[in-house]
């Protein structure tokens, strides 16, 4: 697994990205978190291995567990797809982490919003084509409208396109949602650590109802943002909420 470690000392926190994400996308979430911070790329992403498929969320949970065990992590943060992997890990071993953060959790029941399916299909096709313009068109929806056609937006698109052209994206990822991320959601109620769930209204990929549902299952702290693309529209507050929770 491709990894990057920053900081030093305890506690150790592992940061896991969302679908088609990378280490650079999770680093802002840990910028104010104390201790050692371990960022990694799931199978099929970046320079991590791409073992034969098909893959399940159980496989992603294995990736996450392996990195966390090696680092001695007691805390974890999962974004979108990784939130599902983290839920799967907790369903199997509810005492593995003391504190966990779920940012924009994806549905756990295997039924994804139609917009999420379309976006993934388009992204995989664009990466397979290798054409920069096609990849940029597929990635642009990640940006809020106010940032598009600005120097900051162009810089982001350039970095994403270069990374996806260089490292690719495994087509096996499309099959992850053929089965629920967690077969029995009630298993999450056995978690006895502290949890923070961060959702967002009007996010067509990450329904706010799933953030609320997950928070209820875990008896977690819940915060719902009002505008999508939180890393762009409310980065300082997001960073502060994550660090305040994990540094406690």
Domain ranges of the chain: 3-110+177-247, 114-167
- The pLDDT of residue 26 is 95
Q: What is the largest CA-CA distance in the chain?
A: 47
**Architecture, CATH, for domain 3-110+177-247:** 3-Layer(aba) Sandwich (3.40)
- The pLDDT of residue 33 is 98
- The pLDDT of residue 110 is 86
Helices (H), 72-113: 81-92
**pTM of the shown model:** 0.95
Element (H, E) at 4: strand 3-6
Successive 10-residue mean pLDDT values, the chain, 248 residues: 96 96 93 97 92 93 98 98 97 98 93 91 95 95 91 94 92 91 96 97 93 97 95 95 97
Q: At what angle do helices 81-92 and 57-71 cross, to 10 degrees?
A: 80
3-class secondary-structure state, position 95: coil
* Cα–Cα separations (whole angstroms), residue 239 to 202, 219, 246: 21, 22, 11
Classify burial at 234, counting beta carbons within 10 Å of its beta carbon; exposed 0-12, middle 13-18, buried 19 or more: middle
- The pLDDT of residue 53 is 80
What sign has the CA pseudo-torsion 26, 16, 191, 12?
Answer: negative
């Amino acid at each position: 697994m491709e990894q990057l470690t920053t900081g030093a000392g305890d506690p150790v926190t592992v940061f896991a990205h969302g679908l088609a994400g990378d280490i650079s996308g999770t680093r802002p979430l840990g910028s104010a978190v104390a201790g050692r911070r371990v960022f990694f790329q799931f199978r099929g992403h970046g320079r991590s291995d791409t073992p034969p498929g098909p893959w399940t969320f159980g496989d992603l949970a294995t990736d996450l567990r392996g990195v966390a065990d090696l680092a001695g992590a007691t805390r974890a943060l999962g974004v979108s797809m990784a939130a599902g992997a983290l839920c799967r890990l907790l369903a199997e071993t509810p005492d593995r982490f003391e504190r966990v953060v779920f940012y924009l959790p994806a549905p756990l029941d295997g039924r994804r919003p139609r917009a999420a399916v379309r976006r993934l299909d388009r992204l995989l096709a664009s990466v397979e084509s290798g054409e920069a313009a096609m990849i940029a068109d597929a990635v642009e929806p990640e940006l809020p409208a106010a940032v598009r056609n600005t120097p900051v937006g162009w810089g982001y698109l350039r970095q994403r396109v270069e990374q996806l052209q260089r490292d690719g994206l495994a087509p096996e990822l499309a099959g992850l949602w053929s089965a629920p991320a967690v077969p029995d959601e009630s298993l999450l109620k056995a978690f006895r650590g502290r949890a923070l769930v961060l959702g967002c209204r009007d996010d067509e990929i990450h329904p706010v109802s799933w953030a609320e549902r997950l928070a209820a299952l875990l008896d977690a702290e819940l915060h719902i943002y009002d505008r999508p693309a939180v890393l762009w529209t409310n980065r300082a507050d997001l960073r502060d909420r994550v660090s305040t929770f994990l540094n406690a």
